Amino acid sequence: MEYVKLINCMRCGMCLPHCPTYKETFLETASPRGRVALMRKIEEGELEASERLLEYLSLCLDCQACATACPCGVNAGEMVAEFKCERHEGRGLSVMEDLVLRKLLPHPDRLEAAVAPMRAYQRSGLQKIVRSLGILKMFPPAIGRMEGLLPELPARPLRRTIDEVTPAVGEERGRVGFFLGCVMSLVFSEASYATVQLLSALGYTVVTPKAQKCCGAPNMLAGDREGLLEAARFNVDLFAGHDLDFIVTDCGGCGAELKKYGHHLAGDEAAAAFGNRVRDISQVLSLHGDELREKLTPLPLTVTYHDPCHIAHCQGIRQEPRSLLKLVPGLDCRELAEADACCGSAGTYNIEKPEMSDRVLSRKIATIKATGAEVLVTSNPGCLLQLKKALAEETPPVRVMHLTEVLHRSLSPR
């Protein structure tokens, strides 16, 4: 870690009220300012990287709300992630990490095959039996949490069903590449299908190269920089073969990572060009607001929008999704208090740090309930998983939809 990054924090405290873990605990150790201080003390040799210290750091959600708030340009969340990454590096991967990060994620076929039993398990009715009998209580809690989060899986991942080329409706205005994202394709294939349909309806030919790999964000989190670079290299080359205006994704996490490819593969022109072309779906759709407005039909729903961290804090996209929702006739859009506060999903955080995740989540749920909305709209698979589960348990339940699902529903009402 560059020392100057650590001493740039002037300890003004401006970040404190934005940090979800500080808001829950009021502890300096659980604040951005405190996290930077801890890393700095290690660097200065005043503290050892003890188990406890690492435990404190690992309470960070990496939501990067602190970065948005910090006037000095300090990004405590990213620094903690980088710090953890540096410590992991060269340590080698555990058997489990190797399995997931190297043998599964980079190979969509295998990944899909691995998920197939889950789907069978759900379809067979076994899931219902398992859940009602509480068999999961016999397993480590992490497994139970993972199982509980999973919504009903689609029959087939989008990667399997989508055509490599979806032609533009009407005159072609441009060509875009579609980056699927593992979870979006596997779990939220309907939302991603909607994404492709919207693009095509607006005159884009959508190219979805089927060989594409995971964006590499999970590797980065585990300190597997090599795995990340491999994925980046592969994806850059794969998409370079097509003549594309944008590379579009409807996954906030993928978008944030893909935009950094130029930085990861520094000096590589193709990677820089790739990174510069990456757009969140809301950015592309916003370019054609007037046109979209004409195509949309009334949708009498009360909705509110939750800003995913990877969209709002990492990519700085806030206005676009809101303006898009406002285009839908009949849609009653209510602003959510603390809309850009993390929902507690944060990658695998909700499984690794269940207690804090639940506290952060409860706050989110309370604000959502306060709006009285029937539908919560968001646009990141982690948030979708987390909020779907939690909001289904509310009375009355609140539905959760991806931004593109709402727009698509209004585009072609069922």
| Site of interaction with ligand FAD (CB under 6 A) | 12-13
Element (H, E) at 279: strand 278-280
- Residues 298 and 371: beta-carbon distance below 8 Å: no
34 binds ligand SF4 (CB under 6 A): no
Closest separation between CB of residue 80 and another protein, Å?
14
**How far apart are the C-alpha atoms of 405 and 296, rounded to whole Å?**
13
Structure tokens at 383: 């948030």
Closest separation between CB of residue 46 and another protein, Å?
7
Residue closer to ligand FAD by CB (options 71, 134) is 71
Q: Is the bond preceding residue 396 a cis peptide, omega within 30 degrees?
A: yes
Q: What does the H/E/C string look like for 344-385?
A: CCCCCHHHHCHHHHHHHHHHHHHHHHHHCCCEEEECCHHHHH
Structure tokens at 376: 């919560």
- Residues 230 and 201: beta-carbon distance below 8 Å: no
9 binds ligand SF4 (CB under 6 A): yes
Residue closer to ligand FAD by CB (options 12, 392) is 12
Closest separation between CB of residue 5 and ligand SF4, Å?
11
DSSP states along 282-335: HHHHHTTHHHHHHH------EEEE---HHHHTTT---HHHHHHHHHSTT-EEEP
21 binds ligand SF4 (CB under 6 A): yes
Query: CA-based Rg of the chain, rounded to a whole angstrom?
Result: 21
Select the binding partner of residue 408 from another protein, ligand SF4, ligand FAD, none (C-beta < 5 to 8 A, by kind). none
Residue closer to ligand FAD by CB (options 8, 283) is 8
Closest separation between CB of residue 77 and ligand SF4, Å?
2
What is the contact surface with another protein in residues (CB under 8 A)? Answer: 4, 7-8, 10-14, 16-17, 26-29, 31, 34, 37-38, 41, 46-47, 50, 52-53, 56, 70-73
Closest separation between CB of residue 296 and another protein, Å?
27
Structure tokens at 410: 């209004």
Structure tokens at 381: 């698979």
Q: Tell me which stretch binds ligand SF4 (CB under 6 A): 13-21, 194-202, 314-322, 388-396.
A: 13-21
Closest separation between CB of residue 241 and ligand SF4, Å?
36
- E strands, 111-250, in order: 165-166, 174-179, 204-207, 246-249
Chain residues 251-290 in contact with ligand SF4, contact rule CB under 6 A: none
33, 233, 277, 279: residue in contact with ligand SF4 (rule CB under 6 A): 33
Chain residues 67-106 in contact with ligand SF4, contact rule CB under 6 A: 69-70, 72, 74, 76-77
Closest separation between CB of residue 75 and another protein, Å?
13
Closest separation between CB of residue 76 and ligand FAD, Å?
16
Residue closer to ligand SF4 by CB (options 214, 356) is 356
**How far apart are the C-alpha atoms of 82 and 93, rounded to whole Å?**
17
- Using Cβ positions, the residue closest to ligand SF4 within the complex turns out to be 77
For residue 175, count other CB atoms closer than 10 A to its CB. Answer: 16
339 binds ligand SF4 (CB under 6 A): no
Angle between the 403-411 and 319-327 helix axes, to the nearest 10 degrees?
A: 20
* Chain positions contacting ligand SF4, by CB under 6 A: 9-15, 18-21, 32-33, 35-36, 60-66, 69-70, 72, 74, 76-77
